[in-house]
Amino acid sequence: MFGWKKWGILALVVGASMLTAVKFSTGSPCPTPVSSARYTADGKLMLPQGYRSWAFIGSTVTPNGLNNGKAGFPEFHNVYIERVNLGAYRKTGVFPEGTVIVKELALVRNATHPDGSTDEASGRGFFEGELNGLDVTVKDSKKYSETNNWGFFNFGHHALPYAESAKEASAAECAGCHQAGAATTDMTWVQFYPNLRTKN
């Protein structure tokens, strides 16, 4: 009889532990960290992981052919944000502290016309070729207070693989343009990203 009592108590304790575990796991089935920004010991931002599975918010293309061969970014810009922070932005209109936004570049494919466009079954236009670079911005009001709370990082403007870490870019390289043109929308070109403006 003592055996049953012992096993009963043990089973109750194990069951209670499991109940707690199940409660927490069902409360948030796919928890996402508020920020994925990770830094090396010497303060460089580490290359974000898995960003192509984050939420896409919009794409732009500024080809060399339309910029006298001197486009700052002659590729498509595909822009991603972590889902948890996109949800917060849609609710509040503010990017939460820790937000990471990634801009991956993709070469314009088969530039056959002088403007860089090409002809495909769907018409003449611009089509994505190979991936060609990565820029990242992180919202952190303590680290980047001098550049409107956002730090900017370049992980290479070339084919894969990108750099494993990057130091903060100077204001002249990145933040300056965002401060001049997007200061009123939290340093982000919200007008170009329709998926920021929808409700889901």
Residue numbers of the site for its own copies (CB under 8 A)? 1, 4-5, 7-8, 11-12, 14-15, 18-19, 21-22, 25, 29-30, 50, 52-53, 55-56, 58-63, 66-67, 71-73, 76-78, 80, 83, 106, 109, 115, 117, 120-131, 160, 177, 180-181, 191-195, 198, 200
Query: Closest CB to its own copies among 13 and 43?
Result: 13
Query: Closest CB to its own copies among 49 and 92?
Result: 49
Residues 6+ apart with CB under 8 A from 107: 75, 76, 128, 129, 130, 131, 132
Place of tokens 């293309």: 61
Q: How far is the CB of 146 from its own copies (least distance, A)?
A: 20
Q: How far is the CB of 43 from its own copies (least distance, A)?
A: 26
Query: Closest CB to its own copies among 33 and 43?
Result: 33
Q: How far is the CB of 137 from its own copies (least distance, A)?
A: 14
Cβ atoms of 98 and 84 within 8 Å: the answer is no
CA 163 distance to own-chain centroid: 16
Burial class (CB in 10 A: 0-12, 13-18, 19+), 185: middle
Residues 6+ apart with CB under 8 A from 192: 58, 60
Q: How far is the CB of 187 from its own copies (least distance, A)?
A: 12
